[in-house]
Amino acid sequence: MHQGYLEINGVCTKITTFGRWVEENSKNCEDIVILIPGNPGVVGFYDEFAKTIHKNLRFPVWCIGHAGHNLPKQKLNPLPKLEGNEVLYGLKGQIEHKIDFFEKYIPKNAKIHLIGHSIGAYMILELLEHPSIKDKIADVHLLFPTFEEMALSSNGKFLTRFVKHIVWLIIWLSWIFVQLPTIIQTILLYGYMTIVGIPANQHHDNIKELINPSVLKRVFFLAFQEMEQVKDRNNDIIRRNISKLKFYYGENDGWTPPQFREQLKVDIPNTDIEISNYNHAFVLKRSVEVGDIVSVSILADAI
């Protein structure tokens, strides 16, 4: 695994790779798996998932963090503040961010296998229409995709009707948390993760990074834009790219209720849909299992 920061669309962004690093040259026509996360876009949450796919396929796997969702360690490359730079961190800005990554770092002769989780699926549908990107994409795997009517889902209603009104309190509590001695932070995090059953050895650092107030502000800013902007499903893009697309839904998902996927089947009957019992936030506990499922699909498309 290689981790590093690159400037993408004006924001110092964390990239994690399994296989070769993005700046290493390759003269061969190669398969590359690109992962675009959900929200939060803290790429460390996806390490085990990406590692599983790389282990199964031996393709390079590149994970792109969302702009502003990972804090660079280098003090010489601070993130632009949210205030006054909203265009960089909103939904459209995150799509431009991914386009800039593709144009700068994806080799011309690469065969791209795209994976998008949650809002990452919405971003990928937009990438499929971009002239400099679309011809490189071999297949697309959309995990628990949130590309329609997010505010109408049960989680969306909870976010807009309740969480939105106490964001100030959440940010304030996160500020209090980061002021605590490191040992106290660690005890609190390990206690919480033990209670909810999240593997502490995998996600302690990721959750700690997410709790940073400046990261949380950007995460919530993107989330509320999702509620406002993700409305009608773009059936035209799906139909034009139907041969490349596979959809993975959870049986019970607070962000993608069953009626969404059932209506998708009605509107576009030849849609390739797989349903599982895994949760929307699969990266917390079921990265290996979902990674194995996606690997099989990618391999079938690559042959």
Q: Which residues belong to the active site?
A: 118, 253, 280
- Amino acid at residue number 228: E
d(CA 270, CA 21): 37
Structure tokens of 84? Answer: 């006054």
Q: Which residues contact 154 (CB under 8 A, 6 or more apart)?
A: 254, 257
- Half-sphere exposure of residue 110: CA atoms within 13 angstroms, side-chain side: 25
Pairing of strands 61-64, 111-117: unpaired
CB 109 within 8 A of CB 29: yes
DSSP for residue 117: E
d(CA 72, CA 89): 16
CB 294 within 8 A of CB 115: yes
Peptide bond into 213 cis (omega under 30): no
Pairing of strands 273-276, 31-36: unpaired
- Half-sphere exposure of residue 251: CA atoms within 13 angstroms, side-chain side: 3
